[in-house]
Amino acid sequence: MSSIPGPLIIGTIIYAVIGASLLAAVIGARATGMMSKDNAACNNFRDPHAALTHPLTHLSHYHPHYSIGHVVVTIAVFFSWMFWLCAWLHQWHPLIKPIYEGGE
């Protein structure tokens, strides 16, 4: 028996699928040319001849995992999941409960 509630696992899996599909969309946009490397590179301000001084400085221009699209999608999905998690936990164990006055 797991101590993690089922809806929490299902919601986390749903957000992981959403994140993976958005990352695939970023890769597809870069592969089809809809998002150019100049617009998507995090470090596009670097000198193209910087590879002569340090061999790892040019990786951001060629490696697809260093694009700004990946960073934006990852941060957006993580914090959306965190917001959903806080809302779900608040409904699961509410901190403030209403006090009903006598009536019907």
pLDDT in tens, 48-87: 554 455 555 544 454 544 578 888 899 999 999 999 999 9
In whole angstroms, give the CA distance from residue 48 to residue 60: 11
The model's pTM: 0.65
Helix, strand, coil percentages (3-state) for the chain, rounded to 5, are 65, 0, 35
Return the residue matching tokens 């899996």.
Answer: 13
- Minimal CA–CA distance to 43: which of 27, 29, 56? 56
User: What are the tokens at 38?
Assistant: 């100049």
What's at 32, amino acid-wise?
Answer: T
